[in-house]
Chains A and B, each alone.
Chain A
Amino acid sequence: MVGGAATPDNDFCFDYLPRITGSHSTYETVQAQLDGVCKGYFLLGENPAVGSANTGMQRRGMAELDWLVVRDFSLIESATWWKDGPEIQTGEMRTEDIGTEVFFFPAASHTEKSGSFTNTNRLVQWHHAAVEPDGDRRSDLWFMLHLGNIIRRKLAGSTDEADRPVLDLTWDYLTEGDTAEPVAETVLAEINGWNADGELLSAYTDLKADGSTACGCWIYCGCYADGVNQTARRKAHMLQSISSQEWGWAWPANRRELYNRASADPEGKPWSERKKLVWWDEEEQKWTGDDVPDFEPTKPPSYRPDDDARGVDALSGIDPFIMQADGKGWLYVPAGLVDGPLPTHYEPQDSPFDNALYRVQRNPARQTFSRPHNRYHPSGSEDGADVFPYVLTTYRLTEHFTAGGMTRWLPYLAELQPELFCEVSPQLAAERSLRHNDWATIVTARGAIEARVMVTSRMPSLTVHGRTLHQIGMPYHWGPNGLTTGDAMNELSAVSLDPNVHIQEDKALTADIRPGRRPRGADLPAFVAEYRRRARIDEHTGTEGAMAT
């Protein structure tokens, strides 16, 4: 936050905040890297060279950077692609041609640092460091604090206006121990916010627009209410009511259930005695209950707005969905969705079938990125679709975590799932001469990888539109580094994104499979190019009607 420098005259330094100039999500950032726009990249506990769709595109993006910082437990693939990655093996890249300066910093694990986890159900839970980090490992907080200190030292005395936002930052965090580790709770307290007297705020409703309060993020205001780290509370569920208000802290306002007004009927009485959350207290003339009411506290169920009411006043006492303009729950969505309002069906970007519901094959609102190393497949009755006749689906194993940075280096987990495999039905195995526990090569327009074959009836062959469709199932955790190694499944996937939340489509793609190991060296890209040639794939394939990106 910007402390003393924020005054009414400079609009409380509002213009210091970086503006969102467009989508900066991960896949668009990679495009910006390829286009030479994005010059630097921090990877804190991420391994896109294995875990992101089209890993080749990820590495090619990183190869265009000026600098790359990787903080992780081990030398993950995203830290070493420049010297031993797949493109180095095939000769498509040469280390001496790559201009990216790559920095690797060993990172402390969650047991070695204090901090908070925020779940998707908005619950913020504190964890305390159990041990000091070994060797040179440090927390991300440590890295950011000391990097900030170095930058501020270098900028000290600068008169350049562009440096003011960095120099005016409050950057005086308490540190402790031999490693000068920041006291994580001081950061949480700053996010919670305080008033001009330095007293911690207890709720976002305390925030003022006159500059007398400061808050790092309004939804978290109250997580340090009364000077207590509310997120560190661990009262057992047996000792409190069903909402468990005293276990951790939920944003906003420690509210456990959003729109909980809907748990009561229009008159304000719980629909179910067993599952009651909040109700209207007629005597006290306010909403009360086990959870923090998600409703104006004193608006009675009988309230009806005047015709000229505006804002929240326009919502009646029976409109629980207060973030919607009309306070109602929506089944038909007139606004907000890019591809609404009604649900429908489109085939995946790469599909062996025509869309049975529509003449439009693929979602016209999807995002595609047709680049030389991100080509799409023909689908259904399109010319060349039969070159990739099978459906490839991907999933995770219990033993490994996402891109494997936390698990492939652990002996006890490596031995439990020691090799990449692909699961095929006995029918597909027979059709393509695949032998159990032997090697197979799986190919798409993006790449080719090898995996052990697991023939199993668990991977059924489907009958779709009257024709047999074989599936290939693959976990995606592997990469060339670590104790257990293997090709990365995401060499095969393409970047094409859904229109609303921009998630890559790596659960349903098409592919070919053949027995034996994949080609090595320069033969590998030639092998994949031959597939593209056979399927007559060019920059237009599979891009019809897509949103231009």
Chain B
Amino acid sequence: MTTTQLGMPRVGFFTDTSVCIGCKACEVACKEWNAIPADGPLELTGESFDNTSALGANTWRHVAFIEQPAAPSAGGEHDGVRWLMSSDVCKHCTEAACLDVCPTGALFRTEFDTVVVQQDVCNGCGYCVSACPYGVIGQREDDGRVFKCTMCYDRIGVGQEPACAKACPTKSIQFGELDDLRERARNRVAELQASGLHDARLYGDSPDDGVGGNGAFFLLMDEPEAYGLPPHPVVTTRHLPQMWRHAAIAAATLLGGVVASFVGRQPARLRDR
């Protein structure tokens, strides 16, 4: 079993985009429960029916609408067009770079193995924003503090499912123990593949990927890039030790050079004399 450091089963999200109907109930439920401000400019983005565009400080669930030309045999086709809908969210990585770079300890790993920002500790440095391989975290414009999905830490702590999963009318968003979800997801992919939808695939489910697997993983109907997801995400702090080693060698070399340039030379002061 995939357990947390406390020996509890790890929980997560399985977002099955094959049954997402783009109702955005998850976005609204998330904002309602977490009291996130509306921040839209109230202007059409022109990105199909998606006017949220991306995850950010005030958008912890984001439903993408992707219009694609489709072969008649592809799923969801209509007049040669298919409409992919997908609810994106913080991935709650096993190896979370945001956590690694946070200098204040505002970001922490919970007893459920989810990753949460403590808003009263965050100093707004923004390191985590650039550290996230998915571009999930955003800063609020007023004081620069960062906000993101908490997987409804306050709800799951009392045995409730997160607001988005609760509101999802098609069970596109499923919450539960990660092992169960992974099994369910594998079965679902097999089912879709068997019905001829060969592009169906899981994303973020494997503990062997560059972030050690996601606590929130997805069933996609196309390449990850089609959804704006990185195909091979790598925890951005993975190479930090190596980088520091290189930096240390470079520093030592530099220092050595400086020292060498002085050794064997008479101090100018003495020479002038």
Q: List residues of chain A with CB under 8 Å of any chain B CB.
A: 397-399, 411-419, 421, 436-437, 452, 454, 456-458, 460, 483-484
A457–B69 CB distance below 8 A? yes
Interface membership of B72, Cβ < 8 A: no
B34 to chain A, nearest CB (A): 12
Interface flags for B68-111 (1: CB within 8 Å of A; 0: not) read 01000000001111010000000000000000000000000000
**Inter-chain contacts of A417 with B (CB < 8 A):** 49, 51
Interface membership of B138, Cβ < 8 A: no
The 9 closest A-B pairs by CB, nearest first: A415-B40, A411-B38, A437-B46, A418-B42, A419-B44, A460-B79, A457-B81, A452-B44, A415-B38
List residues 27-52 of chain B with CB under 8 A from any CB of chain A: 27-28, 31-32, 37-46, 48-49, 51-52
A414–B79 CB distance below 8 A? no
From B28, B78, B80, contact of A416 by CB (8 A): B28
Closest to A461 in B: B79
**Inter-chain contacts of B201 with A (CB < 8 A):** none
Bound-state CA distance A399–B52 (Å) is: 13
Closest to A418 in B: B42
Interface flags for B14-32 (1: CB within 8 Å of A; 0: not) read 0000000011100110011
Bound-state CA distance A416–B48 (Å) is: 12
B32–A412 CB distance below 8 A? yes
A456–B43 CB distance below 8 A? no
A458–B46 CB distance below 8 A? no
B41–A418 CB distance below 8 A? yes
**Inter-chain contacts of B24 with A (CB < 8 A):** 398-399, 416
A416–B51 CB distance below 8 A? yes
Interface membership of B67, Cβ < 8 A: yes
Interface of B is mostly: loop
**Inter-chain contacts of B40 with A (CB < 8 A):** 414-416, 418
A458–B42 CB distance below 8 A? no
**Inter-chain contacts of A415 with B (CB < 8 A):** 38-40, 42, 51-52
B49–A414 CB distance below 8 A? no
B33 to chain A, nearest CB (A): 11
B81–A458 CB distance below 8 A? yes
What are 14 sample pairs from A and B whose C-beta atoms fall under 8 A apart?
Answer: A398-B24, A412-B32, A415-B39, A415-B42, A416-B40, A418-B40, A418-B44, A452-B46, A454-B48, A456-B48, A456-B67, A456-B81, A460-B79, A484-B42
**Inter-chain contacts of B78 with A (CB < 8 A):** 458
B182 to chain A, nearest CB (A): 28
B46–A454 CB distance below 8 A? yes
Closest to A486 in B: B44
Bound-state CA distance A436–B48 (Å) is: 11
A437–B44 CB distance below 8 A? yes
**Inter-chain contacts of B22 with A (CB < 8 A):** 398
Closest to A435 in B: B46
A126 to chain B, nearest CB (A): 23
B44–A421 CB distance below 8 A? yes
A186 to chain B, nearest CB (A): 34
B83–A483 CB distance below 8 A? no
**Inter-chain contacts of A436 with B (CB < 8 A):** 46
A418–B51 CB distance below 8 A? yes
A412–B28 CB distance below 8 A? yes
Bound-state CA distance A231–B28 (Å) is: 30
From B31, B43, B46, B79, contact of A457 by CB (8 A): B79
Closest to A455 in B: B46
**Inter-chain contacts of B45 with A (CB < 8 A):** 437
**Inter-chain contacts of A399 with B (CB < 8 A):** 24
**Inter-chain contacts of B37 with A (CB < 8 A):** 411
B79–A419 CB distance below 8 A? no
**Inter-chain contacts of A413 with B (CB < 8 A):** 28
**Inter-chain contacts of A457 with B (CB < 8 A):** 67, 69, 79-81
Knowing that A418-B42, A454-B44 are A-B contacts, what are 10 other residue pairs whose CB atoms are under 8 Å apart, sorted by A's residue number?
A: A397-B49, A398-B24, A415-B42, A415-B52, A416-B24, A417-B49, A418-B40, A418-B43, A457-B80, A458-B79
**Inter-chain contacts of A452 with B (CB < 8 A):** 44, 46
**Inter-chain contacts of A412 with B (CB < 8 A):** 27-28, 31-32, 38
Bound-state CA distance A418–B39 (Å) is: 11
Bound-state CA distance A419–B43 (Å) is: 6
**Residue from the set B22, B51, B78, B83 with the largest chain A CB neighbour count within 10 Å:** B51
Bound-state CA distance A417–B83 (Å) is: 17
**Inter-chain contacts of B81 with A (CB < 8 A):** 456-458
Bound-state CA distance A544–B15 (Å) is: 56
A398–B31 CB distance below 8 A? no
B19 to chain A, nearest CB (A): 15
From B38, B48, B80, contact of A414 by CB (8 A): B38
**Inter-chain contacts of B69 with A (CB < 8 A):** 457
Closest to B81 in A: A457
A65 to chain B, nearest CB (A): 33
Closest to B82 in A: A458
Closest to B29 in A: A412
**Inter-chain contacts of A460 with B (CB < 8 A):** 79-80
**Residue from the set B24, B44, B80 with the largest chain A CB neighbour count within 10 Å:** B44
Bound-state CA distance A520–B246 (Å) is: 67
B42–A419 CB distance below 8 A? yes
A497 to chain B, nearest CB (A): 31
A458–B39 CB distance below 8 A? no
A327 to chain B, nearest CB (A): 41
A215 to chain B, nearest CB (A): 38
B57 to chain A, nearest CB (A): 14
**Inter-chain contacts of B43 with A (CB < 8 A):** 418-419
A513 to chain B, nearest CB (A): 17
**Inter-chain contacts of A454 with B (CB < 8 A):** 44, 46, 48
A418 to chain B, nearest CB (A): 4
Closest to A437 in B: B46
Bound-state CA distance A456–B43 (Å) is: 18
**Residue from the set B37, B41, B42, B45 with the largest chain A CB neighbour count within 10 Å:** B42
**Inter-chain contacts of B38 with A (CB < 8 A):** 411-412, 414-415
Bound-state CA distance A397–B23 (Å) is: 9
Closest to B52 in A: A416
**Inter-chain contacts of B42 with A (CB < 8 A):** 414-415, 418-419, 483-484
